[in-house]
Amino acid sequence: MIATIARELENNERFLVATHVNPDGDAIGSLGALALVLEGMGKQVVAYCQDEVPGFLRFLPYSDRIVREISGPDRFEVAVVLDCGELDRIGSAAEVLKHVRKIIHIDHHSSGDDFGQLNLVRPECSSTAEILYEIFQAIPVSLTPEAAENLYTAILTDTGSFRFANTTPRALAIAAELVSLGAVPEKVAGEVYDSMSPERIELLRNSSIRSGLILS
Ligand SMILES: [Mn+2]
C-alpha cells in the first residue's frame, strides 16, 4: 500500500490535502509536510483545515498557507485525508471531499472507517507523520529542512515529547533522521512548549487522554 500511494502521488497533478477539525501538531505538521513535498514534486496543492491553526503551531513552514474553505471537487484529481478516523471529522468540506474522484486515507487511529479508495491505517505508528515519512522514502524524495521540521513537530507532539507508549524505536529513529535533515529540536520545543495559553493546555490534555496517559 505504501508503494501504491507513492505512485499515486507521483502520477497525479492536482491534490487536495486535508486534516481534521480542532487540529493538533500531527494534523498541521503532516498537512504541511505533504503539501511541501508535493509542491517540491511540481504538483498543484491546496491544503485544507476547517479550523484555525493553533498559535503554538504557526511557526511551522506552510501553516500560513492552509485554507479554511474549498470550492468544487472537480479541481482535484486526488484528495489525501490525514490523521482523520472518519471523513466527517474534516468538518464542513466533507461534502465536497466525498465527490473527489480518488480519496487516499492515511491515519494511525485504529477505530476509523475505510472511507478512501486507498486506505493506509497503521495503528502501530506513532503518528500520521511517521507513515508519511515512509511514503516519502518510497517515492523517493529528499526532504527539505521545512518538511523535516513539520514531520518532527508532528512526531514530537503526538508522542507527548517522546513520553507516551507510542515512543517506539522507529519513531525515535525517524525523529533522529529528521534532525539530521534540518529539524532543530531546541527551536521546535521552544515554539511548541514555551507558551502555555489556555488552548495549548487543553490540547495537551486531550492528547494525553487519547494516549491513555490521563484517564479522566
Ligand atoms: Mn495523530
Q: Which residue has the higher pLDDT, 112 or 103?
A: 103
Residues in the chain: 216
- Cα of 120 vs centre of ligand 1, distance in Å, is 13
Q: What percent of the chain has pLDDT over 70?
A: 93
Dist CA 19 CA 25 (whole Å): 11
Segment 20-45, tens digit of pLDDT: 999 999 999 999 999 999 999 999 99
| Domains within the chain, CATH numbers bracketed | 2-210 (3.90.1640.10)
- Amino acid 110: pLDDT: 85
Dist CA 50 CA 19 (whole Å): 8
- Cα of 49 vs centre of ligand 1, distance in Å, is 14
In three-state form (DSSP H/G/I as H, E/B as E, the rest C), the secondary structure along 108-129 is CCCCCCCCCCEEEECCCCCCHH
What angle, 0 to 180 degrees and rounded to 10, lies between the N-to-C axes of helices 185-193 and 145-158? 50
- Cα of 69 vs centre of ligand 1, distance in Å, is 22
In the β-sheet with 14-19, what is the strand arrangement from edge to edge? Answer: 44-48, 14-19, 78-82, 102-107, 118-121
- Cα of 174 vs centre of ligand 1, distance in Å, is 15
- Cα of 194 vs centre of ligand 1, distance in Å, is 21
Segment 65-99, tens digit of pLDDT: 999 999 888 899 999 999 999 999 999 999 999 99
Quote the distance between the C-alpha of residue 127 and its chain's center: 8
- Amino acid 190: pLDDT: 95
* Whether pLDDT at 216 is above 50: no
| 26 and 158 Cβ atoms separated by less than 8 Å | yes
Segment 164-213, tens digit of pLDDT: 999 999 999 999 999 999 999 999 999 998 866 666 677 777 776 666 55
* Whether pLDDT at 11 is above 70: yes
- Amino acid 207: pLDDT: 72
The CA–CA distances, whole Å, from 114 to 86, 97, 104, 106 equal 8, 15, 10, 10
Q: What percent of the chain has pLDDT over 90?
A: 85
The model's pTM? 0.91
Segment 125-145, tens digit of pLDDT: 999 999 999 999 999 999 999
- Amino acid 214: pLDDT: 44
Segment 141-159, tens digit of pLDDT: 999 999 999 999 999 999 9
- Cα of 26 vs centre of ligand 1, distance in Å, is 5
Q: How confident is the model at residue 111 (pLDDT cuts 50, 70, 90)?
A: confident
**Residues with Cβ–ion distance below 5 A, ligand 1:** 26, 83, 127-128, 158
- Cα of 25 vs centre of ligand 1, distance in Å, is 8
- Cα of 127 vs centre of ligand 1, distance in Å, is 5
Quote the distance between the C-alpha of residue 25 and its chain's center: 8
Please, what is the Cα angle at 100 between 112 and 92, to 5 degrees? 65
- Cα of 32 vs centre of ligand 1, distance in Å, is 14
